Amino acid sequence: MKKCLLLGNGGREAVLAEQISKGYMLYSIMPYVNPSISEYVEKSNGKYLVGDSFDKELVKKFVQENNIEACVVSQDNLLQEGLIDLAKELGLETFGPTSKGAKIEWSKTYALEIVKKLAPEMIIKNEAITNQEQLDKVIEGYQDDSFVVKPEGLTGGKGVKVGGIHFKGKEEGYQYAKDCLEEAGRVIIQDKVEGREFTVMALTDGEHIVVTPTTFDYPYRFEEDKGPGTGGMGCLSFENGRLPFLEQEDIDKCADLIQKTICELNRDKIEFSGVIYGGFFKCKDGIKFIEFNARFGDPEAINVLNALDTPFTEIFEHIQNKTLSKENCKFKNNYTFTVYVVSPNYAIKSTKEPCEFILNKQDILDKGVKIYFASTKHIEGNKYTSVGNSRLFAVSTTGATLEEAKQKVYSAMENNIDDILSYRKDIGEIYEH
């Protein structure tokens, strides 16, 4: 059986671990023992190492000592740091882009340049700013805070700030933009537009793409989409792969951009395989581009991988052989529903103080849902602790209707989630903004 290394340690990696372990022996290097990843490693007779997955010497040694043959990476900073490049150098089969391919995520200006060239009609008016003078001039041009500040680099989904939502008034937006400029030497100021946000992800072998069911993410920390932005508090997808406010032609437009982007990135050689994630707005005047990610979203991966009909390891093989197609990469016609449980201070206060909590895991699993651990460590029995101040675990299921899936998740959580923890109780509502 093929030996496959998975790097990264979030809920996204927990579901990838589940999928990989169904067909391969799973190997992992993680900074702490993620209870889901370790469970799937053990089930597949693989091996894990607690260590720094950014440490290339450590990764190389682990790969060579264990005769590992394949590698999956879907975490933004590991991709930027070139862990797929390393895996390729070591002769492994890979799922994920090289650092050069992942530039579409770690450089917002690069992504905008590509989309401007391939689909200019999808661009929202923006300025890539590289000095203070330019920033002053651009902000002066706005009457109020109807602009968006986008940091240049990776921010774990928490860096983009929208006027009127994340900052109030021009001055506050200006100060944030100034901080971003000082930090990265570059910041993007973009017009604020009215629209509904959605995600289109596609699997790719570097030539072909297969679009996954479209997902709807809940990035705001509190109910009714209030509070600060987060990595995602929940996510859903529909049985027809669309969302109620989207037409098939909207998704086709996004898929067309994604296909052209893959061709552009791989013009000289294959830099990009794995997953490409496009964030879009549906506006009155058409579909607009927000951003690309070079990986599965988290929690979007949990939804999409639970909708797969084809085993993930078969898809992995098609990606290696450049034979990926709609015929050999199929999704079920089901609804998927995920809710993330987080530390009380997540996205609110910056504290690294660990938070201990009780989780009667089996009581939740007995209700027919799944748990994917993220920033959580097991202490003993039903005691767990957070690792830092982040998302702890996701509860997810699928169903024949959205209501069924939602009911299953929320009733499994009722009385079973420690009062100290926090989660949104309105995942499933689709708000108009």
Q: Residue 329 is encoded by which pair of tokens? A: 């990469």
Q: Applying CB under 6 A, does 195 fall inside the site for ligand GLY?
A: no
For ligand GLY, the closer of residues 83 and 374 by Cβ is 374
For ligand GLY, the closer of residues 8 and 23 by Cβ is 8
Q: What is the number of H-type helices and E-type strands within the chain?
A: 14, 23
**DSSP string spanning 298-364?**
TTHHHHHHHSBSS-HHHHHHHHHHT---TTTS-B-S-EEEEEEEE-TTTTTS------EEEB-HHHH
According to CB under 6 A, which residues from 91 to 130 bind ligand GLY?
A: none
CA angle, 236 then 200 then 225, to 5°: 45
For the bound state, the minimum distance from the C-beta of residue 297 to ligand GLY, rounded and expressed in Å, comes to 3
**Cis peptide preceding 35, ω within 30 of 0:** no
* Residue count, binding to ligand GLY (CB under 6 A): 8
Please give the backbone phi and psi of residue 183, each rounded to the nearest 5 degrees, phi first. -75, -45
C-beta of residue 379 within 8 angstroms of C-beta of residue 356: yes
Contacting residue, 18, 85, 217, 239, with ligand GLY by CB under 6 A: 217
Q: Applying CB under 6 A, does 232 fall inside the site for ligand GLY?
A: yes
Q: How far apart are CA 40 and CA 47, in angstroms?
A: 10
For the bound state, the minimum distance from the C-beta of residue 248 to ligand GLY, rounded and expressed in Å, comes to 23
For the bound state, the minimum distance from the C-beta of residue 279 to ligand GLY, rounded and expressed in Å, comes to 8
Q: How far apart are CA 156 and CA 376, in angstroms?
A: 18
C-beta of residue 118 within 8 angstroms of C-beta of residue 164: no
C-beta of residue 316 within 8 angstroms of C-beta of residue 328: no
Q: Applying CB under 6 A, does 231 fall inside the site for ligand GLY?
A: yes
Contacting residue, 293, 375, 386, 396, with ligand GLY by CB under 6 A: 293
For the bound state, the minimum distance from the C-beta of residue 217 to ligand GLY, rounded and expressed in Å, comes to 5
Query: Which of 131-139, 249-257, 291-299, 353-361 is the region at the interface with ligand GLY (rule: CB under 6 A)?
Result: 291-299
Query: Which of 180-188, 294-302, 314-322, 406-414 is the region at the interface with ligand GLY (rule: CB under 6 A)?
Result: 294-302
Q: Applying CB under 6 A, does 9 fall inside the site for ligand GLY?
A: no
Complete edge-to-edge strand list for the sheet that includes strand 126-129:
126-129, 187-191, 147-151, 161-162
Contacting residue, 208, 298, 307, 335, with ligand GLY by CB under 6 A: 298
For the bound state, the minimum distance from the C-beta of residue 298 to ligand GLY, rounded and expressed in Å, comes to 4
C-beta of residue 122 within 8 angstroms of C-beta of residue 288: yes
Q: Applying CB under 6 A, does 46 fall inside the site for ligand GLY?
A: no
x/- track of binding to ligand GLY for residues 245-284 (CB under 6 A): ----------------------------------------
x/- track of binding to ligand GLY for residues 142-171 (CB under 6 A): ---------------x--------------
Please give the backbone phi and psi of residue 426, each rounded to the nearest 5 degrees, phi first. -120, 20
For ligand GLY, the closer of residues 23 and 157 by Cβ is 157
Q: Is 420 left (phi over 0), alpha (psi -120 to 50) or beta?
A: alpha
Query: Which of 245-253, 293-301, 303-311, 383-391 is the region at the interface with ligand GLY (rule: CB under 6 A)?
Result: 293-301
Contacting residue, 163, 297, 399, 428, with ligand GLY by CB under 6 A: 297
For helices 108-118 and 248-265, angle between their N-to-C axes, nearest 10 degrees: 110
Helix or strand or coil: residue 109? helix
Summarize as ranges the residues that interact with ligand GLY (CB under 6 A).
Answer: 157, 217, 231-232, 293, 297-298, 300
